[in-house]
Amino acid sequence: MNLILSSGIRRVINADRPAMENFLVAHWGSAEIVTRGKMHHAGKLPGFICMHNHAIVGLITYRILNDSCEIITLNSLIRRCGIGSALMDAVKQEAYRKGCRRLWLITTNDNTPAIRFYQKWGMHITDIYPDAMVYSRKLKPSIPRTGCDGIPIRDEIEMEIGLDATNPASSGNDALGYPPD
């Protein structure tokens, strides 16, 4: 088993909140996150955490509304060792357990490593919101103008995976990716 994951992924508890808040500020500029024109205080949301040597090495936050679960933040400080996938799997299982039919998130056009990761994990791009960051910056002016590889941060990209009511491991789509009839 991977040394980092040997301590496991666990649910965020109240005692984690101060460290979680500091972690979000360090990696997102603040604990306030904007998606689709809505401000979220990620430090107060439910989540899952991965610790190593008493430090956060992975964190995911989410919110459930009706039958949808939106991932608000995902960070894995040690790439390519399974932390991000394990955190995503934990939220997917929780969403399924809570009766959600859809797991979704917003990322930005510059975040090509995240887009690649989410697609490999099984998500699909379902919508692109051109110039959405203009409005997001009105809510959170500290959002940078450029991101990964110097790419201008302009658009929001929505990605999702369906949650099959009979199989939480399934996307709910057939082998070609088409939803069931």
Residue 51 is part of a domain; what is its CATH number?
3.40.630.30
Tokens of 71: 């991932």
User: Which long-range contacts link 63-67 to residues 24+ away (Cβ below 8 Å)?
Assistant: 64/95, 64/98, 64/100, 67/99, 67/100, 67/101, 67/102
The tens digit of pLDDT for each residue in 120-143 reads 999 999 999 999 999 999 999 999
The total number of residues written for the chain in this structure: 181
Q: Is residue 16 part of a domain?
A: yes
Determine, yes or no, domain membership for 171: no
70-109: pLDDT as tens digits: 999 999 999 888 999 999 999 999 999 999 999 999 999 9
More confident residue, 53 or 45: 45
* pLDDT score recorded for residue 150: 92
Residue 180 lies in a domain: no
pLDDT band (50, 70, 90) for residue 2: low
CB 70 within 8 A of CB 63: yes
The answer to the question of residue 167 being in a domain is: no
Full domain range(s) for residue 125: 5-162
Q: Is residue 174 situated within a structural domain?
A: no
- CA distances 123 to 31, 96, 177, Å, are 25, 15, 11
* Structural domain includes residue 112: yes
Is a pLDDT exceeding 70 seen at residue 166?
no
Tokens of 50: 């991965």
CA nearest neighbour of 63 among 81, 80, 39: 39
pLDDT band at 177 (very low <50, low <70, confident <90, very high): very low
* pLDDT for residue 81: 87
The number of domains in the chain is: 1
What per-residue confidence (pLDDT) applies to 1? 46
* Domain presence at residue 145: yes
Decide if 30 is inside a domain: yes
pTM of the predicted model as reported, rounded to 2 decimal places: 0.87
Check pLDDT > 60 for residue 168.
no
